Amino acid sequence: MAFLRFMGDDDDAKRFSYSLEVGGFGRKLTWQGVPRSIRDSHKTVRDSLDGLIIQRSMALFFSGGDRKELKLKVAGRIWREPL
């Protein structure tokens, strides 16, 4: 699971958006959302499923090849939303 936490409270975090991209072998999966406050624990974010979740079988599919090793690229960006 991948997600982004923001250095601030929920009100500050809601002024921003982010995207996470996972890819490999010409395939790409993108998640876009609002960052969570750094004050939210990892467990809270994980349990709310508010992030990019990739099952092992899909990660292996994205990796191509013999499906025995992971070869993925993970990229992200964050931006401030206009007021």
What are the extents of the domains in the chain? 5-80
> Does residue 57 come out as left (phi exceeding 0), alpha (psi in the -120 to 50 range) or beta?
alpha
Q: pTM of this prediction?
A: 0.75
pLDDT in tens, 60-69: 888 887 777 8
Instruction: Classify 60 as helix, strand or coil.
Output: helix
Report the alpha-carbon distance of residue 32 to residue 80 in Å, rounded.
Answer: 13
pLDDT confidence tier of residue 30, bands split at 50, 70 and 90: very high
Query: What are the Cα distances from residue 54, in Å, to 14, 34, 72?
Result: 25, 19, 11
Residue 19 pLDDT > 90: yes
Check if the beta carbon of residue 1 is closer than 8 Å to that of residue 46: yes
What local confidence, expressed as pLDDT, does residue 52 receive?
Answer: 83
Q: What percent of the chain has pLDDT over 90?
A: 20
Would you identify the CATH topology of the domain 5-80? 2.60.210
What local confidence, expressed as pLDDT, does residue 39 receive?
Answer: 84
